[in-house]
Structure 1
Amino acid sequence: MSSFWRRHRHWMAPTLFILPGAILFGVVIILASIQTVWVSFHDWDGVGQMQWVGLSNYRQLIDDPQFYVSLKNNLIWIAMFMLAPPLGLALALLLNQPIAGMRVMKSLFFVPLVLASVTVGVVFTWVYDPTFGLLSLIFDSFGATAPALLSDENFVTVAVVVAALWPQVAFCLVLFLAGLNNLNEELIGAGRVDGARGWAMLWNVILPQLREVSFIALAVTVIGALRSFDMVAVMTSGGPFGSSTVLAYQMYEQSIFSYRFGYGAAIATVLFAIMAAFIVWYLRTLLETEEGTA
C-alpha cells in the first residue's frame, strides 16, 4: 500500500484535497441547477405532484410585465455597480500612500466589508427614513423636507443600489490594495527614469500591472449585481408595488409566497443563462488577454 501511494501520490494527494469540495460543488451547485431547469418545465406548488407544462412557464414569463421591471432593475444594478471598481481603485491609490494615520483610515474603509448585507440594509433604511434618518437631518439643516426614497417608485432602486455599493466598493478596495502591494518596483523605477509622473505613471505603468485584478473586480461586481437579493428583501421587499424587485427576488417571491415553483424556476433559469453568458464572455476575454501577453 505504501509503495502504491509513493508511486501515485503526485496525483492522489491533490485529488484527496479537491474531492470533498468537488463533491459538495457537484451536489449543491451542478445537480441543483439541473433540477431547477427540470422544474421550470413543470407546474408545481412545491408539495404535490409536478405536472409537465413544457414551455408554458417561459411563455408566461414573456407576457409578465413584472419580469421586465425586474430585468430593468437588474440592468440598473449592473450600471451603477460599475462605479465600484474605479471607486475602489481610487481609494486604494489614496490609502496606499505612506502617510501617517493611513492604517486607521484603512480600517474604517474595511468596516462595510465585514458587515452582513442585512446589517447594511437595516442601517441604510434608517438613513433614508424621511422623519428621523440621517438624510432627514441633512435636509432639515437646509430647511427642506427629505424625500421618502424607499417609497418612491422612481428612485427606490437607485437608493437600494447606493446602499449596496458601500460594501462592494470596500471589496474592490481590498482587491486593488492587494494588487498595489504586488507591483513590480523595477517597472515603476524605470517609468520614473523615463519621466513618467502622475497620470502617465498610473496609465502606462500601474494599471497594466493591475489588469488581472481589474478583471476579477469586474467579474465579481457584475455577478454581485445580477444575484442581488438580500438588500432588496431587507430594505423594500420589492416594493413599492414591485418597482424595486429584481430577478432573484421575483423568483423567491413567486416560489415561496405564490407557491409557483415552476415559474420561479423559470426565472432562475433565465437569470442563470444571463450569468452564464457573462461568465463565458469574461473567460474568453481573459484567455485572449493572457494569450496576447504571453
Structure 2
Amino acid sequence: MTDSSVPASRNSGAFTPRRKLGRKLAPWLFLAPGMIMFLVYVIIPIGQSMWISFFQWDGLSPKSWVGIENYIELLDDEAFYTSLKNNVIWLVLYMLAIPFGLFIALFLNQTVRGIRIYKSLFFFPFVISQVVVGLIFSWFYAPGFGLLFELTKIFGGEGIAVLANPHTVTYGIIVAGLWPQIAYCMILYLTGLNAVAPDQIEAARLDGAKGIKMLWYVVLPQLRPATFIAVVVTVIGALRSFDLVSIMTDGGPFGSSRVLSYYMYEQALSEYGYRMGYGAAIAVVLFAIMMIFISGFIWKMWRDERGL
C-alpha cells in the first residue's frame, strides 16, 4: 500500500496550478535571452536609425530637426540613384547563387570515390573571409599582371581592366561575391538533400519519374525550407554588399560601383560626409527594400504551404 501510494501522490500533483504555470513560463524563459539580444541589437537600432533620419547631425554636435528633408534630398541625388541601380543589379544577379548551389549540391550528393575531396573544394570559398575574396579577385582582374587581364590580352588583343571600367566594375564585383555565396547555398541544399524521404524517391521511380520530373515534383518540394533560407540570406547578402565594394574599388571608378550600404557609409562615417541623418535615411531606404523582398517571399511561401 505504501509503495503504490507514493507514485499516486506524485501524479496527483503533476497538474497543479503551480506546475502548469511553470510549464507555460519555461519556453519563454529559454527564449528570453535571445529575445532581449534581438531587441537590444536589432529592433532598437532600427528604431534609432529611423529617428536619426529626421535630423541633421554630424555625430558630435546637437541634432537639428529637419523632418523629411533628408528623404527629399535623396530624390535629387544622382549618386543615390546610381547606388540604387547597382543594388538592383546585385539583387538580380546574386539570385544565380541559388540554382548554381542546387546543381552543385545535386552533383555532390553521390556516393562515389573521392566525393569528400570534391565537397571540400567546393566548400572552401565559404570559409574564406570576404576581405580575402576581394583581394584574390582584385589580383585576378588587375591590369598588367592579373590572370583575366592576360587572358583577354591573348585572345582579344587588348586586356580588359574590369575594375577600371565603369560599365564592367559592378559585374566584376558581383562575380567575386557569387563565389562564396554559391558555396553557402550548396551547403544548405546538401543539408536539405540529406532529409529527402527515400521512400518518396522510390515511389516516384516506380511511377516512371526521373531526371527533371523527379527533381521538380519530388525533390524540390522537400527542399523548400532550404530554398527559403537560401533566398533570404542571398537577398540580404546582395543588399548589404559593402565589404567587397570597399576592398575592391572603394566605390570607384568615379562612384560607379557604389551600392546603398557603401554610400550610407560614405555619407555618415567617412571623412567626406559625417552626415549621420542623411546616412540614416539611406539606411532606412535600404531596410525598406530588404523587407519588401523578404516579406514578399515569406508571403508566397505561406500561401504555397496553405495551398491558396
TM-score by length of 2: 0.90
Amino acid in the other structure paired with 1:138: L
Cα pair 2:153 2:160 within 8 Å, conserved: no
Return structure 1 stretches of 4+ with deviation > 6 angstroms: none
- 1:292 Cα deviation after fit: 1.7
Moved more, 283-292 or 69-78: 283-292
- Give the alignment partner of residue 40 of structure 1, picking from 4, 28, 53: 53
Residues 1:149 and 2:182 are matched in the alignment? no
Post-superposition CA distance 1:240-285 (Å, at most 9, x none): 1110000000000000121111100000011111112122212211
Moved more, 249-258 or 126-135: 126-135
Post-superposition CA distance 1:175-225 (Å, at most 9, x none): 111111111111100111111122221122111221222222112111211
Residues in 1 aligned to 2:53 and 2:115: alpha-carbon distance in whole angstroms: 52
- Give the alignment partner of residue 66 of structure 2, picking from 49, 53, 56: 53
2:238 alignment counterpart: 225
Residues in 1 aligned to 2:243 and 2:77: alpha-carbon distance in whole angstroms: 23
- 1:144 Cα deviation after fit: 3.3
Residues in 2 aligned to 1:97 and 1:202: alpha-carbon distance in whole angstroms: 15
Residues in 1 aligned to 2:28 and 2:212: alpha-carbon distance in whole angstroms: 47
Residues in 2 aligned to 1:286 and 1:203: alpha-carbon distance in whole angstroms: 16
- Give the alignment partner of residue 277 of structure 2, picking from 254, 257, 262: 262
Aligned pairs, number: 291
> Residue 269 of structure 2 aligns to a residue in which SS?
helix
- Give the alignment partner of residue 265 of structure 2, picking from 252, 259, 264: 252
1:97 alignment counterpart: 110
1:284 alignment counterpart: 299
Q: For the pair shown, which has the larger CA radius of gyration, 1 or 2?
A: 2
- Give the alignment partner of residue 18 of structure 1, picking from 25, 28, 31: 31
Structure 1 residues 5 and 224, CA gap change in structure 2 (3 angstroms): farther
1:242 alignment counterpart: 255
Residues 1:129 and 2:142 are matched in the alignment? yes
Moved more, 87-96 or 196-205: 196-205
Post-superposition CA distance 1:3-32 (Å, at most 9, x none): 998553323333232212211111111111
Structure 2 gap segments, 5+ residues each:
1-15
- Give the alignment partner of residue 160 of structure 1, picking from 162, 173, 181: 173
Cα pair 2:235 2:294 within 8 Å, conserved: no
- Give the alignment partner of residue 272 of structure 1, picking from 276, 287, 306: 287
> Residue 302 of structure 2 aligns to a residue in which SS?
helix
TM-score by length of 1: 0.94
Residues in 1 aligned to 2:223 and 2:297: alpha-carbon distance in whole angstroms: 16
